[in-house]
Amino acid sequence: MKALTAAAFGFILSIHAALAAEPVFPPASRIGLIPPPDMTLSKRFSGFENEERAAVITFTEMPAAAFDQLSSGLTKDILKKQGLELITREDVKLGSSSGILVSGTMVKPVMGRKWLLLLKDEALTGLVVAQVNGGSEGYSDEQIREALKSVALRHGVSLEEQVSALPFRIAEEAGFRPVRVIAGSSVLFTDGPKDTIKSVEQPMMIVGSSLQPVPPSSEQRKQFAQAALYANQVLKDIRIERSDSFRLKGQDWHEIVARAVEAESGQPIVVMQSIRFDGDRYVRMVGLTREEDRDRNLPRFRAIADGLEMKF
């Protein structure tokens, strides 16, 4: 009887082990993996984290055509400019998907270790980034590699499901519609028949939540907001019309309205950037419209920003 009980117990444990080995997918994510020990699903972004070990794994989904452009940037020189000293680079095959896995040491803005897995699928390009801050503590290279090589892709996740999993809710869409969710933390809205917009032929707005440190003072936040706008590579010849800080619904905001030129086409446009600072995170909203449509669309961008609600 004891032998039977031990055998049954061992069988149960083997079942649990098999179940535990299945990839875990964040809500609405098409990317999943078997996380390292004690890493749990994040409520803040699409991926996993362990705060005590200062470790995160994040997922970003992009169109399939993005793979070639992104893979060309995974070189020693380019990564070094981004603060990563390359240690290894290898081609990988995960199921029916092929990709590139690189690892390195972070030298700025914080010290630590980072791994990037770029994976190509017929329907999407997946970028999985693992980061362990600090020194040798946290997770080992072997543990992170094991997790990254367990990455799996799935299909059939609706846009509605992806939008519902965002860390914020848009209560007022002002006649716009969502067309794409990016990295589980941002959503692109537009008004018009096309889902891919060139030369701002349709007005568009991107709403995204970020976990980057928030500047503490009002003046620093103003500088932060202006730097974020000037860093946008889609725009050139930016001329700020107004740059205002204010309080709304108990939160600090900074809003900029500027004229600019769409870099690729030379099309004159107007941009409205609204940033809501919320504790240790912020939400950035960037609306773009052709100059002749500014009077119609700027109030609509403002309505989307006013209707923003954080979920947690």
Query: 153, 185, 208: which is the final residue of a domain?
Result: 153
Whether residues 304 and 210 fall in one domain: yes
Residue 242 lies in a domain: yes
Whether residues 34 and 176 fall in one domain: no
Whether residues 126 and 178 fall in one domain: no
Whether residues 184 and 230 fall in one domain: yes
Residue 223 pLDDT:
92
- Give the pLDDT band of residue 4 (cuts 50, 70, 90): very low
- Give the pLDDT band of residue 7 (cuts 50, 70, 90): very low
231-283 pLDDT, tens digit each:
988 899 999 999 999 998 888 999 999 999 998 899 999 999 999 998 778 99
Query: 127, 153, 179: which is the final residue of a domain?
Result: 153
Of 34, 58, 50, 53, the closest CA to residue 136 belongs to 53
39-67 pLDDT, tens digit each:
999 887 889 999 899 999 999 888 888 89
Residue 243 lies in a domain: yes
Whether residues 136 and 40 fall in one domain: yes
Task: Give the mean model confidence (pLDDT) for residues 82-96.
Answer: 92
Average pLDDT, the chain: 88
Q: Cβ distance 31 to 148 under 8 Å?
A: no
The H or E element that residue 303 is part of is helix 294-306
**Total tally of structural domains belonging to the chain:** 2
Whether residues 55 and 113 fall in one domain: yes
DSSP type of residue 107: -
Q: Inform me whether the pLDDT recorded for 75 exceeds 80.
A: yes
136-166 pLDDT, tens digit each:
568 999 999 999 999 999 888 888 988 988 8
Q: Inform me whether the pLDDT recorded for 89 exceeds 90.
A: yes
Whether residues 269 and 221 fall in one domain: yes
Whether residues 179 and 201 fall in one domain: yes
CATH of the domain at 266: 3.40.1000.10
Residue 4 lies in a domain: no
Q: Cβ distance 230 to 258 under 8 Å?
A: no
Q: Cβ distance 209 to 283 under 8 Å?
A: yes
Residue 63 pLDDT:
85
The winner for highest mean pLDDT among 69-78, 163-172, 241-250, 284-293 is 284-293
Q: Inform me whether the pLDDT recorded for 205 exceeds 70.
A: yes
DSSP type of residue 189: E
Whether residues 147 and 198 fall in one domain: no
289 is in which domain, residue-wise? 159-310
Whether residues 63 and 124 fall in one domain: yes
- Give the pLDDT band of residue 182 (cuts 50, 70, 90): confident
Residue 135 pLDDT:
58
Residue 5 lies in a domain: no
Task: List b or e across 103-136, with b for residues whose CB sees 16 or more CB atoms inside 10 angstroms.
Answer: bbebeeeeeebbbbbbbbbeebbbbbbbbbbeee
